Amino acid sequence: MASRSVNHIILVGNLTRNPEMKTTTSGKSVCVFGLATNRDIPSSSDEEREETQFHRLVAWEKLGELAGKLLRKGRKIYVEGRLNYRTYTDSDGQMQGVCEIVVDDFILLDPKPMDRDEEASDESLRATKKSAA
Q: How many Cβ atoms from other residues are within 10 Å of residue 15's Cβ?
A: 19
**Given this model, what pLDDT does residue 43 score?**
79
Q: How far is CA 71 from the centre of its chain?
A: 7
Question: Which residues of the chain carry a pLDDT beneath 70?
Answer: 1, 112-133
Cβ-contact 95, 66 below 8 angstroms: no
Q: Which of 80, 69, 64, 62 is nearest to 30 (CA)?
A: 64
Helix or strand or coil: residue 20? strand
Q: How far is CA 44 from the centre of its chain?
A: 34
**Given this model, what pLDDT does residue 132 score?**
40
**Given this model, what pLDDT does residue 3 score?**
85
For 9-132, which CATH superfamily applies? Answer: Nucleic acid-binding proteins (2.40.50.140)
pTM (2 d.p.)? 0.75
Question: Would you say how long the chain is, in residues?
Answer: 133
The DSSP output letter for 91 is T
Domain parsing of the chain, residue ranges? 9-132
**Given this model, what pLDDT does residue 124 score?**
36
